[in-house]
Every structure is written in structure tokens, then in C-alpha cells.
Structure 1
Amino acid sequence: MSDQQKIADSPTTDMPNKAENALDMTLEQIQEETRQQAAQQQLVMQQLSGDIEATFEHIQQIKYSGQGKPLVLLHGWGMNSHVWQPLLPSLAQHAQVICIDLPGHGANSHLPLGTLAEAVEQLAPHIPQDAIIMGWSLGGLIAQGLAHALPDRIAALILIASTPKFVAEGDWSHGVSPDLLALFGRSLQTDYLGTVKRFFALQFLSTKTDTRVVNALRDRIMEHPASVPALEDGLNILQTADFSQAPVKQPTLWMLGKLDKLIPASLADALPEMGYKHIAVLEQAAHVPFVTHPELFMEHCGAFLNAL
């Protein structure tokens, strides 16, 4: 893999009331909902693979059949593992894929996310030896935290539309305005569904993704909404996590979108100064390149995984 790749590509590019009801659930209802979600997730994954092992410890995870090293997928803010499903068959050609819903999200919505350190502590027991962590956006920040906490267990990282520091401040210009995150935090208190919907739309902005694809994915994810406390904790992690002075030591592939409205493509110029060698900028992609440009995304991922 070359040291730095900038690839031009061509793009292909309401909410249910259930989320509102979920906010008022009793503990018993949440537990029942979690059991139902687990069954639904198993059914979907069995249709894709036929070789599924689900573990029901503190953090629920779903293992998808595959070859090679374990590849742990960590989704972004307000999302869940459903966002990865179209990509799973391709990833399984290179690795043993493990999907984990972050605490407070999806099938683990009954758990608190907490601070970055607390999220890392919860996830650490579920990271196998020689794991590769694929983290998207918020998941990429948590992946960097795991890499520092588990240096002998994590073999490599793939960080998608993520950054060492999410907020632009001081000498760090490769992030979003703190005001934008503060705005999401305020609107979350008054308009849960609208806030998540706007954030979802922002991730596809400037791409030509079919709106039917975007809406279908959004609705599927919102069948298992994240809890409000977890969303608040996630925003706090985005606001405070800072690895700009602490690059990870493991081999790391950074996948960025030239059109991303959250993570500036200028980050690609700063990463080599931090010692990172593997950087791919997808010219026609935004914040969700694995959805809008899956084939090009897999070209880079496959080459990186095969070289490990």
C-alpha cells in the first residue's frame, strides 16, 4: 500500500414513533426490548451468513463468519451495527468480523456509554487477541482509546471518517466547530428524533446517494434507537477526546471523504506529521464512504488487511 493515496471516484449516492416511546420505557420493558432486538439481529445475520455466534455477556456482540484475524466493528454516534450489514460479506473475505453495538446503542441501549475511559473499560473484555479495530467517526475515537489501553492485544486500526481530535480549537483546525456540537446537544433535549435525523442527513451531504437508500438505512437504524444519555455522553466524548499529541503505535489506515462536512479532508495533510503512513482520501465521498462507495472502500480495506 502506498504511503498516501488520494483516489478520485464516481458516486452512486418520518422517523418511527418507536424512539419516542423508548425514552419512557421501564426497566422491564427495556430488558424485553433487548431480547427482541437480539433475536431480530440474529435472524438478519443468519440470512446473510448462516454461521453466527452471538454472545450475551455484559456487551452483546454478533460474530459473522470469515477468514483471518478478528475484525471488530465500532459504529458512530447515534448509530448501531445495522449500518455495517451491506459490507459484511466483503469484510468476511478478509477477516473474522465481530459487530459490537456501543453501550447505549442498538442492542446495548440499556447500558451507559459514559466517558471515553468508561466506554473503553466496558469494551476491552470483548476485544480478542490480535484484533483489528474498524472504527467509524465516534467509533474511531473509541478505537484509538482501545489501542492505547490494549497495545499488546490490538494489531491494527482502520479509522473511517474519524480524527485524533473531533473539535477544531487552538492549533488543531482539522475538526468541527465546537458550536456545532453544542447545537446538537441543545436540540437533543427538545427534539430527539429531529436531531438524529439532521445528523444523519449531514453525513451524506454533498454526495449523490439515492435518498431512498439513505432513508431506508436511517429507518432501519432507528428501529433500535440509542438512548438519550448515551447520545449526550457520545457528544461529550466528541468534544473532549484528544489524541492529536498521542498517535497510536499500531499500523493504521485512515479513510477520509473529500466531501465530508464533519471531518475536513485537510486532516490527510496533518496525519503524516503524526507518523501515520496509510491514508486514503475518497474524492467523491463524505462521512459514510462504506455506504456511498463500498467497492472503492473495500479496495483500500482489503489491501490493508491482506498486508498485515
Structure 2
Amino acid sequence: MRDRLILLPGWGLGTAPLEPLAEALRGLDARLRVQVEPLPRLDSGDAEAWLDELDANLPEDAWLGGWSLGGMLAAELAARRGERCSGLLCLASNLRFVAEVGWPAAMPAETFAAFRQGCARDATATLKRFALLCAQGAGDARGLSRQLLGAAPQESAQRLLSGLDLLAALDTRAALQAFVGPQLHLFAGLDALVPAEAPAALLELLPDVEVGLIDTASHAFVLERPHEVAAAIQAFLHEAGDD
């Protein structure tokens, strides 16, 4: 099923931000079956539990991709599946979301800790702030943040916190090094959540993977610029021999 692509969404905002991208991809290639699948709804931040659920419910022998947290999970699942995964697409996904000594090109740990504390106090206000951060750098940042927030599902504070704990714990470096299939990593030029140094750090670790940049775009470029992102993905799929 190398003509099937599964896309996973990011934290807190549901599947709606990926639908315009999926539609754009279908418009470029009617043979490509694109599915946007929700993340597991778990009250635990244990990565293995999330991956077990995804592995049990997603088709095998498909391309795996995702936006932000979804891309990190897709990377881990691709490594787990090996040859049962056709390839990997990571969209505005850092290898680590939270910085550490070995990966400084990420959000400072103290910034993330303050964000998590804010979510524990007021999840609704934190989600609104997150939507604004996702849209920062867009031509119409407020309009884009309203779009993101307007379609977001109602989730309990505990589930949102579990997702943040997962985001803080994930480190996809080993998974990306282990996965031998084709990889495309697309970054946004004005991303407020993934530092500009992340693409270079990725290429230093994995010089043979494909890395692209959508200039003057926000973290939410999957919704802001779906046709440009779709064109980059389609070009990569064609290059990988799937056209």
C-alpha cells in the first residue's frame, strides 16, 4: 500500500488543521490515499502506550507522517515497523521538543515547564496561547489562530497534560537513525516553536535525509500554506519512486 499516507496531528488541536493539506495532496494525485488519523486519547504520557495504540490501529505498509507531535510519533512508529513502513514525513517536527545538553535546538526546558504549569492551572487559556504560538509568523496570525482554536476538540486537562508529558519525553534521534526508509523533514521559516537551528542540527545528525524549508511560514504551515506543503511532499514522493 505504498499509495497510502497516514497523517497524525499535533498536540491539542485535533485533526482539522491537517485536512486542507490532505485535500491538497489528493488534488495533486488522485491515486494517493491520504488519511488523517487522530492521536490516541490517553491519560498517560507513556510513549510506548501511545505507540502500541497507533501500531494496533493504523494500516501497515503505508507512508507515515505527521505535524509537530504527530511527526515525532510517526518517526517512532516508522522505526518500530521498519520495512512495514513505506517512508516518513515529518512536518514542523523537531527531534526533541524540549532542549537538553545534547540537543539545544529546541524549546528551553524552563519555558516548557512554565507552559505545562499554565496548562495545569487553566487548560483553556493555555490552548488559546498555544494556537497563537502556532500561528505566530503567519501573514494573518490572529485569523489563523482562530481557525486552529475553533476546530479544536474538547479534551480534559489531564489528557492535554499527558500529551505535554509525552512531548517532553520524546526523543526521535535514535528512531530516525534506525529507520532506513525515505525521510522528508519540512520546516517552517518563521516557526515560533521549533528553533531555526533545528534543520541544520538534523542534517548534522542525518546528512542523507531530505530537509526542506517553507519560507515566511508559521508552525501551523500545514493549515496556513497547505498547497506549498503538499507540493513539497508530492515532489518527494515522486523522487522516492511512488508516482
Q: TM (normalized to structure 1)?
A: 0.71
Among residues 61, 66, 78, which one is paired with 1:147 in the alignment? 78
Counterpart code for 1:231: L
Structure 2: segments with no counterpart, 5+ residues: none
Which has the larger displacement, 250-259 or 91-100? 91-100
Query: Does the C-alpha gap of structure 1 residues 262 and 210 become closer, same or farther in structure 2, counting only changes over 3 Å?
Result: closer
Q: How many Å separate the matches in 2 of 1:179 and 1:80?
A: 26
- CA shift for structure 1 position 68: 6.0
Q: How many Å separate the matches in 2 of 1:164 and 1:78?
A: 19
Whether contact under 8 Å (2:12, 2:127) holds in the other structure is: yes
Among residues 68, 78, 91, which one is paired with 1:137 in the alignment? 68
Q: How many Å separate the matches in 1 of 2:147 and 2:159?
A: 23
2:212 alignment partner in structure 1:
280
Number of aligned residue pairs: give it.
234
Counterpart code for 1:86: P
Q: How many Å separate the matches in 1 of 2:8 and 2:188?
A: 18
Please identify which structure carries the higher helix content.
Answer: 2
2:148 alignment partner in structure 1:
217
Counterpart code for 2:191: D
Among residues 287, 295, 300, which one is paired with 2:227 in the alignment? 295
Q: How many Å separate the matches in 1 of 2:67 and 2:149?
A: 16
Query: Does the C-alpha gap of structure 1 residues 216 and 129 become closer, same or farther in structure 2, counting only changes over 3 Å?
Result: closer
- CA shift for structure 1 position 213: 4.2
- CA shift for structure 1 position 81: 1.1
Q: How many Å separate the matches in 1 of 2:151 and 2:169?
A: 30
- CA shift for structure 1 position 100: 1.2
Greater Rg, structure 1 or structure 2?
1
Structure 1: segments with no counterpart, 5+ residues: 1-66, 105-110
Whether contact under 8 Å (1:258, 1:264) holds in the other structure is: no
Q: What pairs up with 1:48-197 in 2 under 5 angstroms?
A: 69-92=3-26, 93-94=28-29, 95-104=32-41, 111-112=42-43, 114-197=45-128
What is the Cα-based RMSD across aligned positions, in Å?
Answer: 1.9
- CA shift for structure 1 position 243: 2.3
2:139 aligned counterpart, secondary structure: coil
Whether contact under 8 Å (2:92, 2:194) holds in the other structure is: yes
Whether contact under 8 Å (2:90, 2:184) holds in the other structure is: yes
Q: How many Å separate the matches in 2 of 1:238 and 1:213?
A: 23
- CA shift for structure 1 position 210: 5.6
